[in-house]
Copies of this chain bind each other. A is one copy, B any other.
Amino acid sequence: MSKSRPHVTEAELAVLEVLWEQDRATIRAITDRLYEAGSTSEYATVQKLLERLEAKKLVARSRSSVPHVFRARVSRERLIDSRLRDVADALCGGSMTSLLTQLVSGGKFDAEDVLRLRELVEKLDSRREKRS
């Protein structure tokens, strides 16, 4: 988390979810999406969350028009990756490989999961070979 991996709060995440879903959105749109009602204070809450997300460079704000338009600067995939890295740092000495090993050997996966995983490994392997 420390290494330029700011923590994303649950409420902040909810905002990001909307941005992932809608690509671009105003505070109003996000507020209505999250709260239905969209009162003044709820609007302000979303505003503050966006402000913090912007400070963490996780969303971009376009000030060229009013109301401002926001978009996510980070994908869900990157966020997942960053959280996994946090876990690896905290519990696996920073090794993503250990984490992966742990996840694979520990989890319960059915036939379909294993099949998909196998395909994924194949793809990974061939991609790696091509690089070298």
Contacts and interface: CB of A to CB of B under 8 A. Distances in A.
Interface of A: 10, 13, 76-77, 79-81, 83-84, 87, 90-92, 96-97, 99-111, 113-114, 116-118, 120-121, 123-125, 128, 132
Interface of A: prevailing SS: helix
Contacts of A125: 114, 118
Nearest to A118: B121
A81 to B, nearest CB: 5
Given A80-B106, A81-B107, 12 more contacts: A80-B102, A84-B84, A84-B107, A87-B87, A100-B103, A101-B116, A103-B103, A109-B124, A114-B121, A117-B121, A117-B124, A118-B125
